[in-house]
Amino acid sequence: MIKTVFIRSLFFLSLGLVILACQSEPEKPRILMPETDLATVSLIPKPVKVIPTNSAFALDQFTAIYTSKNATGFDKVGEFLAEKIKAHIDLDVPVNGKKANTVERVIYINQSDSLELNAPEAYQLYINQDSIILNANTAEGAFRGIQTLRQLVPNVSNDTLAAQKIWPIPSGKITDNPNFGYRGAMLDVARHFFSVEDVKKYIDLLAYYKINMLHLHLTDDQGWRIEIKSWPKLTEIGGSTEVGGGPGGFYTQEDYKEIVRYAQERYMTIIPEVDMPGHTNSASVAYPILNGNGKTPKLYTGMQVGFSTFDTRKDTVYAFIDDVVREISEMTPGPYFHMGGDESHVTKKNDYIHFVNKVEKIVQKHGKLMIGWDEVANADIDSNAIAQWWASEENAKKAVAKNMKVIVSPANKAYLDMKYDTLTDLGLHWAAYIPVDSAYQWSPEDYGIPKENILGTEAPLWSETITNISELEYLAFPRMIGYSELAWTVPENRDWENYKVRLADQAPFLERNNVNYYPSKLIDWKKSKYTYETIEKD
């Protein structure tokens, strides 16, 4: 016989005590599931520790979600999980007693003060036959934990003799915590514009794999994509085109706020980038007073870079930058503002250093930490600034010498706009061809940068050759999935042979979400992992 449990309330105490109110139900068939080894489930990124107990939690119509009371954000995490379960397997799971009838099993999302969970994103999962307990100190940690739980839900129910469908979740304990606190992706919306809905879809896919930073490259020679109310021609003129001569586009401030809100709900930080003093043709076309290259600016739809610059010795330029940084910072709750700083080929060195120093003070004035591409390490900036290493190891070492934090984004390993191989239609190859295995088989710790100076990693996707969300997905996936593991999982738990098996099992998720991923022949893509059978036992 199976003893079922009717749960009215659940309190998780520091001693790990769970109080359950029990009542008897008629006999039901005993479920026998061959694949109940938690250690074999294809989780990405791979957790710190997985201990299987070789039984299963039966997710079904008698399951409910409860969250800690008076714990900020935990109820929203529970509602998010219920929404995703509904979208995945069309199962309604009530949250905190709402619309709950008979409850036999519970998923409890618990705010814990355990010293083992002393990092903001740390979590523990205890999966038993009648309960799943997710412990985290913060709602952010709980949110990372439910992404793991989502990956544990089978794609199809098992074929049981029970009246209802059951989705068995293998039992055991998972302990997890990220290797790096900064795990980023960058999307270039300047070369080609991507709508709010496109960005939201990308956010959802990134959040599933525990990415927590989305860097938006908002301005470049070919387009200015963010409304600045004090300088309206930036979008009226500068936002009117893109690479190849398309219509361009821009985000109103309400659009941008909606992207920020959507990301916040998924515990993702938006990092705005206004690239300067180079990559500034679109701004100079709108306001020629900003221009410093001595040429009459015209709208630009090409792909070459390095020809534009602001006038770094003009006070009007810094008044302009102050307005831009102020308006964007007021809409951006995250701690960072990215000022670009790369490929300023026509800016004299002394002018460049003067400019970066001035911009850093403006960014600090508006309460943000400045990030810049690795060239900014040549300026006289303080140790609170962050260098994003993309091209020059020498610049990265200069940043370390100044005790700056470094975001690791080497173009020949981490750039999502690089082609997979010589046959790939989309993308470029000036840095390298980056097949799926090369994208995974490297480590941020490989380059001699001390671990304490590595803020984290980021995978940029430049958009010269992509024009829509389908093409974006083709270059980003599956490589972005591997980058998520490089940032989250400690090096000793990363192994290509093991990873490529787990990656193969991501196909159902990608296909269910209509992701146009690149079907690399290096991967034996699977349609479904779990097969179950049931027998009736006396």
Cα–Cα separations (whole angstroms), residue 531 to 36, 52, 79, 108, 275: 11, 18, 28, 27, 51
Taking 3-state DSSP, the helix, strand and coil percentages for the chain, each rounded to the nearest 5, stand at 35, 20, 45
Q: Could you tell me where in the chain the CATH 3.20.20.80 domains are found? A: 182-513
Residue 25 has pLDDT above 50, yes or no: no
Residues 182-513: name the CATH superfamily: Glycosidases (3.20.20.80)
pLDDT at res. 436: 98
Dist CA 338 CA 320 (whole Å): 16
Predicted confidence band of residue 47 (pLDDT cuts 50, 70, 90): very high
State the Cα torsion 504-509-513-516 to the nearest 10°: 0
**26: pLDDT strictly greater than 80:** no
pLDDT tens digits for 243-259? 999 999 999 999 999 99
196 pLDDT above the threshold of 80: yes
Tokens at 167, concatenated: 């989705």
From the candidates 35, 343, 445, 471, which is the catalytic residue? 343
Is residue 24 scored above 70 in pLDDT? no
Is residue 134 within 8 Å of 108, Cβ to Cβ? yes
Q: Which residues pair with 311 in a beta bridge?
A: none
Q: Which residue intervals of the chain bear CATH 3.30.379.10?
A: 38-176
- What is the fold of 38-176? Chitobiase; domain 2 (3.30.379)
Give Cβ neighbours of residue 149 (< 8 Å, ≥ 6 apart).
Answer: 81, 107, 125, 132, 134, 169
**Catalytic residue list contains 343:** yes
pLDDT, the chain, mean: 92
The arithmetic mean of pLDDT across residues 302-326, rounded, is 98
pTM: 0.92
